[in-house]
Amino acid sequence: MQASAGIGLVDSHAHLDMPEFDSDREDVVRRALAAGVTAVLCPADLVQPRSLAVLQDLQTQFPESILAAAGVHAHQANDFNEKHVRSLHEWASRGVIRAVGEIGLDYHYDFSPRVQQQEVLRSQLACAGELGLPVILHSRLSGPDIIAAVDAEGFRGGGILHCFTEDWAMARAMMDRGFFISFSGILTFPKAQDIRDVAKKVPADRLLVETDSPYLTPVPQRGSVRRNEPAFVVETAQVLAGLKDLSYSDLAEATTRNFRTLFR
């Protein structure tokens, strides 16, 4: 971990709004800062009004380090309505949110019917297009339909394909559409060789790292800590640096530069 000293790294995806962080949210951010994590992008859950409010409080305390996004997740496509679109417009106009997300499709859990997930994704892509914001995409076993939705909406605002678990064809297609590919702690799991193989091929100027906290705690913390937190993104960055044959500092610099390209 000492490799992180003095080098800025960004956690491109962490759910710091969640109740798992209610007891020590500020300490979690301080630990991230101490580990060299200079910024954390937090996707708020539009269906729960508390979610963005919690993040706004955190932003007040750490204005340089916390960025917020908001969207209706594929899991909750059932709950999506026009009120959510109005909220996105309002928060974007006030500069509270910097991206629309996370939005997408999840054909692993299928919590909402697929056709409905697709409609809700397209509505929010259209909204992001109108607002001129990038999107944070969630895709699980749904690559071709994500690409189809982006193309059908003519969405060219780019963004992040987060917590990458799809194949190289999907990575390639999304990069062609202006997206960055964000790798989570899954990269550190022994069984994830197929994901590491894709990561090797993604050019350094398209890479991001994330924790997806409180989920997906990376190795080695995984053995002893249940809850993931942004400070642990350092482990994923170290593995990614090894795969890319880059020094840790070059990887940190590249991913931070990529993040700043999206969120100037």
Ranked by CB distance to Zn ion, the top (closest) residue is 138
Closest approach of Zn ion to the CB of residue 2, in Å: 29
Tokens of 185: 């702690």
CA dist 176 and 157 (Å) reads 12
Which residues on neighbouring strands pair with residue 70, listed in sequence order? 44, 100
Per the CB < 8 A criterion, the answer to whether 213 and 228 are in contact is yes
**53-61, 133-141, 193-201, 246-254 -> range binding Zn ion (CB under 5 A):** 133-141
In angstroms, give the least distance from the CB of 250 to Zn ion: 27
* Candidate residues 25, 75, 98, 138; the one interacting with Zn ion per rule CB under 5 A: 138
Nearer to Zn ion, 110 or 253 (CB): 110
- CB-nearer residue toward Zn ion: 248 or 259: 259
Among 252, 229, 262, 250, which residue's Cα sits nearest to residue 10? 252
Q: How far is CA 87 from CA 21, 63, 72, in A?
A: 24, 21, 11
Q: Please identify, using beta-carbon distances, which residue of 187 and 241 lies nearer to Zn ion.
A: 187
Q: How far is the CB of 214 from Zn ion (least distance, A)?
A: 10
Q: Per-residue string for binding with Zn ion, 69-108, x by CB under 5 A?
A: ---------------------------------x------
Kindly tell me which of 11 and 102 has the beta carbon lying closer to Zn ion: 102
Min dist. Cβ of residue 99 to Zn ion (A): 12
Name the residue nearer to Zn ion (CB basis): 74 or 241: 74
Q: Least separation, in Å, of the C-beta of 151 and Zn ion?
A: 21
Nearer to Zn ion, 158 or 248 (CB): 158
Sign of the torsion formed by the C-alpha atoms of 33, 218, 20 and 24:
negative
Rounded distance between C-alpha atoms, residue 186 and residue 216, angstroms: 7
Report the SS3 class of residue 210: coil
d(CA 32, CA 65): 10
Residue 186 near residue 163, CB atoms below 8 Å: yes
The C-alpha atoms of residue 189 and residue 215 are separated, in whole angstroms, by 13
**Least distance (Å) between residue 193 CB and Zn ion:** 22
Binding region for Zn ion (CB under 5 A): 102, 138
